[in-house]
Structure 1
Amino acid sequence: MTTTTRVLIAADKFKGSLTAADVAERVTAGLRAEHPDVAVESLPVADGGDGTVAAAVAGGFEARRVRVTGPLGGPVEALYALRGDTAVVEMAAASGLALLPPGVFEPLTATTAGTGELVRAALAAGARTVVLGVGGSATNDGGAGMLTALGARLLDAT
């Protein structure tokens, strides 16, 4: 009886150069070229930042597009992923550093409101479980924008 060697390529992005799917594809191609007898399967993964929704979509979730508030207050198009009653939301898609103009950082005014709007859209689509990836954020509002977008009212203690 012969045993087939099996390899799973679980690759994250190479930020600024390749997506997780691109990394997995290239590693898979290289492995197959050197070892054609090896069974190779690839699955893009993410660490909770940029690419988290794409990894969920690669795993069988459906991408949903929503217009939300970006980190500087203007509208942006963002994706979340949905499968059954589970949604994957990526903070970076709505409130991320990649949405800022080059060299512009607004730590005192950037908002997570768009992340809350993504969560709200996922809930409206039937999600009962929301997996929230919080990497890649351009904000430091402690989630206050997200909470207010979800209906919370923040009070001053004084």
Structure 2
Amino acid sequence: MKLQNKAFPALIASVFMLSCLSSVIQARIYNKCALARRLYRMGMPFHELDDWMCLIEGESSFNTKAINPSNVDGSVDWGLFQINDRYWCKPADGRPSTDSCRMPCRLLLSDDIRFSVACAKYIRRIQGFSAWVAWNNRCQGYKPSVKHCFVHSGPYLK
């Protein structure tokens, strides 16, 4: 079957849109060591990596697209770090938010984790790790080490 010249651009556009949509829908679930190394390369202090990895595992199970809509106050937690939209990001549905990280919440679901990392670092600086329920319940006083993730590369290699 021969496509008409006018139909071909529409077909290409449709295929492009479907490929974009499928990349938006699919979640990235990180391997623990791969994420620890990535966070280190992104400027997370090495001495805090155990805390960050314990927190992320407890909050999102390393899933970039994790969403928790079941908070009693109606707020939603977003992404790897389960950042709450009542205080830290702007929800798309117009619910009130302090939006302290100055970003739409949807950016926290991106596989490009720079936005999530920047907001999480800000939260850590303002409130400490105790801002996260999972850190308080699972990590405070005990954190599984991620030093083994750097055995072959060394913690200071970028």
Task: Pick the TM interval, shorter chain.
Answer: under 0.3
- TM-score, with structure 2 as normaliser: 0.26
More helix per residue: 2
- TM-score, with structure 1 as normaliser: 0.26
More strand per residue: 1
